[in-house]
Amino acid sequence: MSDLLLDIKNLTVSFVTDDGVIQAVNDLSFSVGRGETVALVGESGAGKSVSAMSVPRLVPMPPARIDKGQIFFKGKDLLTQDVKDMRKVRGREIGVIFQDPGTALSPLHRIGWQMMEAILAHRTLNDDEARKLAESWLSRVKIPDPAQRMNAYPFQLSGGMQQRVMIAMALINEPELIIADEPTTALDVTLQAQIFDIIREMKGKDSAMLLITHDMGVVYDICDRVLVMYAAELVEEGPTETVFENPAHPYTMGLLQSIPTLGKGRSKRLDSIKGQVPSPFNLPHGCRFHDRCPRAFDRCAKEKPGFVDISENHRAACFLLGDRGTRP
């Protein structure tokens, strides 16, 4: 348990709906070390957000249900903590940056009040000290006139400013783990660059970050390690550069090839992955990617492939890797 900050073991989460039970996360295991930045990538519905939001237990139950697994955070299993203990973890030890600041901030309260609430929930400071701290964080995330902005309601701020307020709120108690769920998807690229600049600067060396994104450029830019999810399962994980240069799972390869890259000039066609993401009600047997995989063979439709270690910290679940990680 030494350097592992977060260690998820065999997490399985399903949602109970009127139309049946959907598996959102299946048998997911991964860990995040202290100070590490890890990306969780995949297309819509792959289970990225549910996996990450299960950590601070922010997935609403019901309809969600944790079927199996453990989530060790600093050595203790968060899934066995009671509600009161979880409140001490959330916002203090684990900070969350949500995708849409417009809906994550309370529309009825001034942002200063919301930030002070975040501070006072966890620390014994008086109002003045909390106010000063909140103000100083607003200026750290480069919000002009922080003292004045403390009195603003979220709707009076632009999307970029709201997102900076959210970042300040998530980081204000200097959490050891930051979970960022597509923090810049709603923003323009120049703002995205500003936001990641701020996150990088604010994060500090000791805090780890789990970043959910579908932007491979962002992953390459700021993450140490990358986890690739497909249809509720992890299919590949490894150090960022290794995965980009030497992807092992056909899905990861397809994903990387289907991204148009800046500066390559006008090219003919993209090597897209055929077909579409399977419906959660009707997941394929065997390897869940087999019906879209250009290299699938008989076994893929019958059995589920296990993980194969390819190199240090790099593993993928695919029969093509053989049993010892060498490609046929």
Partner 1 sequence: MTETRPNAEHGNGEAQPEPSFPLVEIQDLKTWYPIRRGVLARTVGQVKAVDGVSLAVKRGETLGLVGESGCGKTTLGRTLMGLEQANEGRILFDGQNILAMKPAEKKDIRRRMQMIFQDPLTSLNPRMLVRDIVTEGMRALGMIRDSEAEDTAASLLAEVGMNRESLTRYPHEFSGGQCQRISIARAVSMRPDFMVLDEAVSALDVSVQAQVLNLFMDLQDKYGLTYLFISHNLSVVSHIADHVAVMYLGKIVEYGTVADVIGHPVHPYTQALISAVPVPGRRTQRIILKGETPSAARPPLGCAFHPRCPEAADVCRTRAPRLEISSHRLFACHMRNHDR
> Residue 170 in contact with residue 96, Cβ under 8 Å?
yes
In one-letter notation, the amino acid at residue 317 is A
Find the Cα–Cα–Cα–Cα dihedral 197, 198, 202, 204, rounded to 10°. Answer: -10
Q: Looking at 84, 266, 324, 327, which residue binds partner 1 (CB under 8 A)?
A: 266
In whole angstroms, the minimum distance from the beta carbon of 241 to partner 1 comes to: 9
Give the separation between CA 166 and CA 98, rounded to whole angstroms.
8
**Token pair of 169 as six digits:** 């709120």
Binding mask 130-169 for partner 1 (x = CB under 8 A): ----------------------------x-xx--------
Task: Assess contact for 171 and 202: CB atoms under 8 A.
Answer: yes
| Among residues 191, 278, 283, 304, the one that binds partner 1 under rule CB under 8 A | 191
Among 16, 61, 121, 193, binds partner 1 (CB under 8 A): 193
Minimum distance of partner 1 from residue 84's CB (angstroms): 39
Q: Which residue stretch of 2-10, 75-83, 107-115, 216-224 sits at the interface with partner 1 (rule: CB under 8 A)?
A: 216-224
Nearer CB in complex with partner 1: 179/255: 255
If binding is defined by CB under 8 A, does position 259 make contact with partner 1?
Answer: yes
Per-residue x/- track, 38-77, partner 1 (CB under 8 A): -----xx---------------------------------
Selected from 263, 282, 326, 327, the binder of partner 1 by CB under 8 A is 263
Distance set, CA 266 to CA 105, 112, 159, 162, 261 (Å): 42, 48, 33, 36, 10
Q: Can you read off the two tokens belonging to residue 132?
A: 């000063």
Distance between CA atoms of 90 and 97, rounded to whole angstroms? 12
Is residue 265 at the binding interface for partner 1, with CB under 8 A as the rule?
yes
User: Taking the complex as a whole, how short is the minimal distance between the CB of residue 273 and partner 1, in angstroms?
Assistant: 4
The residues with which 229 forms a beta bridge, in sequence order, are 234
Per-residue tokens: 268: 């003919």
Q: Least Å distance between CB 6 and partner 1? A: 25
Structural tokens at position 45: 């519905």
270 part of the interface to partner 1, by CB under 8 A: yes
- Per DSSP, the three-state class of 211 is strand
> What DSSP state is assigned to residue 66?
E
Question: What is the C-alpha separation between 64 and 39, in angstroms, rounded?
Answer: 23
What SS3 class is residue 186?
A: coil
C-alpha distances (whole Å) from 47 to each of 59, 109, 207, 208 are 12, 32, 24, 21
276 binds partner 1 (CB under 8 A): yes
Dmax (CA) for the chain in angstroms is: 68
When asked if residue 255 is in the footprint of partner 1 (CB under 8 A), the reply is yes
CB of 221 to partner 1, least distance (A): 4
| Residue of 82, 128, 189, 326 interacting with partner 1 (CB under 8 A) | 189
Applying CB under 8 A, among 214, 288, 314, 315 the residue interacting with partner 1 is 214
Shorter beta-carbon distance to partner 1: residue 264 or 327 = 264
254 binds partner 1 (CB under 8 A): yes
Applying CB under 8 A, the site for partner 1 has a residue count of: 45
> Which two tokens mark 160?
């970029």
- Kindly state the helix (H) or strand (E) to which residue 13 belongs, with its residue range: strand 4-17
CB of 251 to partner 1, least distance (A): 9
Sign of CA dihedral 73, 79, 84, 86: positive
Contacting range for partner 1; rule: CB under 8 A; set: 15-23, 256-264, 298-306, 310-318: 256-264
Q: State the minimum distance, in angstroms, from the CB of residue 187 to partner 1.
A: 9
Q: Which residues bind partner 1 (CB under 8 A)?
A: 43-44, 158, 160-161, 188-194, 197, 214-221, 244, 254-274, 276-277
